[in-house]
């Protein structure tokens, strides 16, 4: 019999749950994700997302800052020219959509708050899990770039650390899958990205330290079939390679924080407008 997911999660910093969603459930989620590529914003309002060279561009962008309670779209580098005109088909132009799909889109809401997610949170020992953000990630062939090694707690910090990512494969993820450094969640948060406290600085976000260099040999690939859910500890170091396969690699991901046992940092980039609260997994 498989050991409890909490034990495996504590040891490795991630857990792979195969067949988390059925073929029909995956198809419904994927269809909803494809639908998000229709009705793209007008050219002047298009924003590129990248974890590498144009990060400064993204960081300065108010659109990103304001996306906590919206369904906002972020384009791939290489999908737009300098005027925001599409260089590729609309269906493969997006990097991701976020960060409130779990609340504002009925399909993503249905699956984010489904019994399987509640049960998994319960098995992980979470007392008051809330959803803080959600993203649909396209990782299209050719365009879907690498995601550099990072810890999710760099972006979404809680005190003490109680962040867990749910990453659900909606296509088979082979080339361009997630890579983990097993056990790397035990060394604390290496750096944080916070809202810039200096209102006169043009950067809206700042990092508290340079990114460490993570040895390539520490990473293990986790190819998974569609319908698999990967649980990601907030401090486990992970990355994903560019999608050089001829196939898309869509995924739906959301992040959970246990508010009973931790505090969500007011310094995090992602903040709801005043008066709004993160929706509880057990209460919705």
> What does the binding site for Fe ion look like in residue numbers (CB under 5 A)?
152
Task: Give the Cα separation of 205 and 202 in Å (integer).
Answer: 9
Task: Tell me whether residue 33 or residue 149 sits nearer to Fe ion (CB atom).
Answer: 149
- Residue 254 vs 278, nearer CB to Fe ion: 254
**CB 150 → Fe ion: shortest distance, Å?**
6
How far apart are CB 130 and Fe ion at their closest, in Å?
19
**Residue whose CB is nearest to Fe ion in the complex, by number:** 152
Q: Closest distance between Fe ion and the C-beta of residue 238, in Å?
A: 6
Q: How far is the C-alpha of 163 from the C-alpha of 153, rounded, in Å?
A: 7
Strand 205-207 relative to strand 193-195, pairing: antiparallel
Which residue number, 80 or 137, has a Cβ lying nearer to Fe ion?
A: 137
H-helix or E-strand containing 75? strand 71-75
**Closest approach of Cβ 148 to Fe ion, in Å?**
10
| 121 vs 132: CA distance, rounded Å | 14
Residue 79's alpha-carbon distances to 59, 62, 73, 76, in angstroms, are 19, 20, 13, 5
- Measured from the CB atom, the residue of 165 and 227 that comes closer to Fe ion is 165
CB of 232 to Fe ion, least distance (A): 6
**DSSP H helical ranges for 113-174:** 115-123
**Minimum distance between the CB of residue 147 and Fe ion, rounded to whole angstroms?**
7
3-state secondary structure of 216: helix
Burial track 22-41 (b if 16+ CB lie within 10 A, e otherwise): eeebbebbbebbeebbeebe
Quickly list DSSP for 77-112: TTSB-TTS-BSS-GGG-EEEEEE-HHHHSHHHHHHH
Give CA–CA dist 22/234, Å, rounded: 26
- Of 220 and 284, the one with the shorter C-beta distance to Fe ion is 220
Closer of 26 and 135 to Fe ion (Cβ): 135
CA distance 191 to 203: 17
Query: Which of 76, 152 has the CB closer to Fe ion?
Result: 152
35 contact partners, CB below 8 Å, separation of at least 6: none
In the complex, what is the shortest distance from the CB of residue 283 to Fe ion, in angstroms, rounded to a whole number? 26
Residues pairing with 221 in the sheet: 179
Looking at the Cβ atoms of 74 and 80, the one nearer to Fe ion is 74
Compute the least distance from the CB of residue 182 to Fe ion, in Å. Answer: 15
From residue 143, give the alpha-carbon distance in Å to each of 49, 87, 226: 12, 11, 20
């Amino acid at each position: 019999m498989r050991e409890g997911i909490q034990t495996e999660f504590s040891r490795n910093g991630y857990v792979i749950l195969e067949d988390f969603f059925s073929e029909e459930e995956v198809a419904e989620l994927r269809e909803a994700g494809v639908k998000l590529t229709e009705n793209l914003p007008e050219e002047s309002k298009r924003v590129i997302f990248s974890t590498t060279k144009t990060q400064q561009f993204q960081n300065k962008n108010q659109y990103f800052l304001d996306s906590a309670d919206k369904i906002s779209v972020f384009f791939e580098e290489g999908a737009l020219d300098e005027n925001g005109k599409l260089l590729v088909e609309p269906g493969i132009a997006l990097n991701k959509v976020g960060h409130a799909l779990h609340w504002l889109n009925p399909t993503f809401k249905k699956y984010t708050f489904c019994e399987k997610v509640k049960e998994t949170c319960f098995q992980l020992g979470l007392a008051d899990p809330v959803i803080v953000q959600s993203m649909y990630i396209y990782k299209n062939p050719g365009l879907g770039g690498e995601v550099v090694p990072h810890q999710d707690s760099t972006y979404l910090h809680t005190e003490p650390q109680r962040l867990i990512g749910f990453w659900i494969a909606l296509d088979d993820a082979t080339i361009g899958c997630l890579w983990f450094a097993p056990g790397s969640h035990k060394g604390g948060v290496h750096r944080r990205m916070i809202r810039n406290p200096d209102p006169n600085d043009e950067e809206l976000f700042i990092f508290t330290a340079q990114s460490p260099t993570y040895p390539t040999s520490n990473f293990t690939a986790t190819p998974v079939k569609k319908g698999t859910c990967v649980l990601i500890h907030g401090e486990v170091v992970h990355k994903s390679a560019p999608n050089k396969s001829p196939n898309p690699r869509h995924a739906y991901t959301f992040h959970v924080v246990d508010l009973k046992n931790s505090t969500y940092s007011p310094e995090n980039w992602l903040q709801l407008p005043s008066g709004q609260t993160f929706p509880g997994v057990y209460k919705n």
